[in-house]
């Protein structure tokens, strides 16, 4: 029995089960962390959910779902979902598409590896505001980007890059890239090279190896990176204000929630918008996991020795 | 086949890698251009239309130091960052150890619960959490800012430290137990020294993230408990009231703070092992 319990948890685990029962004593150290998550995350979340079905003000007579009805019934509010999705989905997809080949190639050392990874990770430290301020100057009408484009006669008039959708897109794509890259690099460097060698020995070409062996093995990493990237880009709002058009095309859903809470002091309605956000987020994560399970089923750290 | 020939074959099978350097160069140039635009503007006496500023000055830094109370804001940022890092390590490391070493019913849902705050946008629980803290008279205080920032930091510790403990040989603990050490002694004398590099790595990463985390601090902080990001957002949001160069000066100070921590982190850890540690 003891042996069986140890084996289930893999070679590293100490046996917990004894005489068929579970000894809860060794599990005590997990309690403080659990309490923190329960008090500071689960409870506020439940509180927000409860708050959202108790509308106040002019919505109080509308019944439990009045806040939700108001959000989905107002085109201006409803549009914030679309405004957010059309940023979050393409930015996540672009960053994944850029990071995947880089992470895959860098899983084995290349000359200058440390410098390359540092250069790719450094934008983490830029911060939204420096990125925004720098972009306003760099991409502004008299900024270097437009100067270069004009000097090369690629455009006749300065292009407007900031204070619109493009500005937020660029800002998010840069800010989000390091995390996506790091997650993929972690998974890619865990791939066992022998698996691919075996596929080659069996006559698989480059494309077949990539499609049938490497990508399925990387599926858990791609899913994790996609989920984390979507969480980050979906909840964006500083850059949507600073380099976007917050009164129009980049009025994202997080901004809608913030305005309800801190400009109209309607916490119940703000909570309802926050719950809509969480629901969309969780649906997306579930979709990613479903796609991942279609691509590959097996140990999460598959291919590791 | 000799080792050299095999390596050469492996390299050709991999294909040439010039595109890696090209992609990294394009990305780095873009980021450098954006950073330099802000940096040059922060030391420019004026910059109208030319490729470079018309003259240079340090007055915007002096202005930022005086006008934005930069010294105090930096102090708040350091206090919040360090407190969040230490507290989330104290809470997260024992939990990660239990998750790595013990198989018990409900382990997977528990792990999911502990990691959940990373999967949900901070603003969804941040707004009610802020309301809770204000009700408890902690809103706007330094303690309140520290408390909210622990929520997204804790899952990060669990996620990094669980695989780290998994790769430590359990026989070391068994040997210590055989020699008469109690659980606390095993942890303090055996596990802690081994886990210290991993904890340092996790700690530095949390510090970078805590310095950069915006939403939760924004929702909870008051005038005297703003971290650098939040103070920066307010000044940038109220653009026009203060000169853009002074905002840039502050942003540069922010970037350098984060950069120092990140470069320290990269010295201690190989980014390859930053997220998932390969078990050997």
Q: Which of A257-266, B155-164, B210-219 has maximum average pLDDT? A: A257-266
d(CA B215, CA B126): 8
pLDDT in tens, B219-242: 888 777 788 778 878 877 776 667
- pLDDT higher than 80, residue A13: no
Strand, helix or coil for residue A78? helix
Mutate to test the interface with B, among A137, A175, A236 (most CBs of B within 10 A): A137
Query: Does residue A4 form part of some domain?
Result: no
Q: Does A279 touch chain B (CB under 8 A)?
A: no
HSE-CB at B192 with a 13 A cutoff on CA atoms is 10
In a domain? residue A189: yes
Is A9 in the B-facing interface, judged by CB distances under 8 Å? yes
Rounded to two decimals, the ipTM of the complex is 0.79
**What is the residue whose two structure tokens read 């890092």?**
B85
B37 to A48: CB separation less than 8 angstroms, yes or no: no
Find all residues with CB under 8 Å of A8, minimum gap 6, and list them: B103
Residue range A239-264: mean pLDDT, rounded? 88
Q: Which domains does chain B have, with CATH numbers?
A: 23-57 (no CATH), 68-275 (1.10.3720.10)
* Coil vs helix vs strand at A63: coil
Q: Which residue of A has its CA nearest to B243?
A: A133
Q: How far is A86 from chain B (nearest CA, A)?
A: 17
pLDDT tens string A120-178: 888 877 777 788 888 988 898 888 888 889 889 888 888 888 889 999 999 999 988 98
Work out the number of other CB atoms within 10 angstroms of the CB of residue A28. Answer: 11
Report DSSP letters for chain B, one per residue. Answer: --HHHHHHHHHHHH---HHHHHHHHHHHHHHHHHHHHHHHHHTEEE--SSSS-SEE-SHHHHHHHHHTTHHHHHHHHHHHHHHHHHHHHHHHHHHHHHHHHB--TTHHHHHHHHHHHHHS-HHHHHHHHHHHHHHTT-TBSHHHHHHHHHHHHHHHHHHHHHHHHHTS-HHHHHHHHHTT--HHHIIIIIIHHHHHHHHHHHHHHHHHHHHH--HHHHHHB-TTS--HHHHHHHHHHTBTTB-HHHHHHHHHHHHHHHHHHHHHHHHHS-THHHHSPPP-
Distances (CA, A) of B216 to B5, B125, B226, B238: 55, 9, 11, 20
A54 occurs within a structural domain: no
Assign A14 to helix, strand or coil. Answer: strand
pTM of structure: 0.82
Mean pLDDT of B28-45: 87
Give me the domain span that covers residue A161: 76-295
Q: Which of A5, A110, A190 sits opposite B103 (nearest CB)?
A: A5
Q: What is the mean pLDDT of residues B81-100?
A: 92
Confidence (pLDDT) at B76 = 87
Averaged confidence pLDDT in chain A: 83
User: What is the tally of structural domains in chain A?
Assistant: 1
Examine residue A247 and state whether it is found in any structural domain, yes or no.
Answer: yes
Residue A47 domain-assigned (yes or no): no
pLDDT of amino acid A35: 94
**Which of the four pLDDT bands, split at 50, 70 and 90, describes residue A20?**
low
Q: Which residues contact B149 (CB under 8 A, 6 or more apart)?
A: B80, B84, B210, B213, B216, B217
What pLDDT, on a 0 to 100 scale, did the predictor assign at position B5? Answer: 53
**pLDDT surpassing 60 at residue A7:** no
A121 inside domain: yes
CB contact under 8 A, B248 and A133: yes
Q: Is residue A244 part of a domain?
A: yes
CATH number at residue A278: 1.10.3720.10
Mutate to test the interface with A, among B272, B274, B280 (most CBs of A within 10 A): B272
Whether residue A24 lies inside any domain: the answer is: no
Q: How confident is the model at residue A85 (pLDDT cuts 50, 70, 90)?
A: very high
Q: What average pLDDT does chain B have?
A: 80
């Amino acid at each position: 029995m003891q042996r069986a319990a140890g084996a289930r948890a893999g070679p590293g685990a100490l046996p917990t089960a004894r005489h068929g029962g579970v000894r809860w004593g060794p599990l005590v150290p997990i309690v403080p962390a659990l309490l923190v998550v329960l008090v500071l995350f689960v409870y506020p979340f439940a509180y927000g959910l409860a708050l959202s079905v108790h509308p106040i003000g002019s919505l109080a007579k509308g019944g439990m779902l009045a806040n939700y009805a108001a959000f989905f019934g107002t085109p201006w509010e409803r549009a914030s979902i679309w405004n957010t999705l059309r940023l979050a989905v393409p930015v996540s997809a672009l960053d994944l598409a850029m990071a995947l080949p880089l992470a895959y190639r860098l899983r084995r050392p290349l000359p200058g590896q440390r410098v390359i990874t540092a250069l790719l990770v450094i934008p983490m430290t830029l911060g939204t505001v420096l990125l925004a301020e720098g972009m306003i100057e760099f991409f502004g009408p008299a900024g270097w980007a437009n100067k270069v484009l004009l000097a090369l006669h690629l455009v006749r008039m300065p292009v407007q890059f900031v204070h619109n959708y493009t500005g937020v897109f660029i800002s998010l794509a840069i800010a989000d890239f390091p995390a996506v890259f790091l997650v993929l690099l972690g998974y890619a460097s865990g791939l066992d090279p022998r698996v691919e060698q075996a596929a080659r020995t069996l006559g698989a070409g480059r494309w077949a190896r990539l499609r049938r062996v490497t990508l399925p093995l990387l599926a858990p990493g791609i899913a994790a990176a996609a989920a984390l990237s979507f969480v980050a880009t979906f909840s964006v709002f500083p850059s949507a204000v600073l380099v976007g058009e917050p009164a129009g095309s980049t009025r994202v859903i997080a901004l809608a929630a913030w305005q309800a809470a801190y400009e109209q002091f309607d916490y119940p309605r703000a909570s309802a918008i926050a719950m809509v956000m969480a629901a969309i987020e969780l649906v997306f994560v579930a979709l990613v996991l479903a796609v991942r399970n279609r691509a590959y089923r097996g140990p999460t750290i598959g291919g590791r020795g | 086949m000799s080792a050299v020939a095999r390596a050469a074959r492996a390299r050709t099978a991999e294909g040439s890698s010039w595109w890696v350097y090209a992609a990294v160069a394009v990305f780095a140039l873009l980021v450098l251009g954006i950073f330099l635009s802000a940096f040059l503007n922060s030391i420019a006496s004026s910059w109208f239309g030319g490729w470079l500023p018309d003259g240079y000055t340090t007055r915007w830094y002096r202005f930022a130091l005086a006008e934005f109370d930069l010294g105090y804001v930096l102090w708040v940022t350091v206090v919040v960052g360090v407190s969040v890092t230490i507290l989330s390590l104290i809470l997260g490391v024992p939990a990660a150890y239990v998750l790595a070493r013990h198989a018990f019913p409900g382990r997977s849902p528990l792990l999911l619960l502990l990691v959940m705050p990373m999967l949900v946008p901070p603003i969804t629980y941040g707004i009610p959490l802020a309301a809770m803290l204000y009700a408890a008279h902690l809103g706007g205080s330094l303690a309140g800012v520290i408390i909210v920032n622990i929520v997204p930091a804790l899952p990060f510790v669990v996620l990094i430290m669980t695989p780290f403990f998994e790769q430590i040989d359990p026989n070391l603990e068994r040997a210590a137990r055989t020699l008469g050490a109690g659980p606390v002694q095993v942890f303090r004398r055996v596990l802690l020294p081994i886990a210290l590099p991993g904890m340092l790595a996790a700690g530095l990463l949390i510090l970078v993230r805590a310095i950069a985390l915006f939403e939760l601090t924004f929702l909870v902080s008051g005038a005297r408990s703003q971290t650098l990001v939040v103070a920066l957002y307010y000044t940038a949001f109220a653009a026009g009231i203060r000169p853009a160069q002074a905002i840039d000066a502050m942003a540069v100070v922010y970037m350098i703070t984060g950069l120092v921590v990140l470069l320290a982190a990269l010295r201690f850890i190989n980014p390859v092992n930053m997220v998932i540690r390969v078990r050997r």
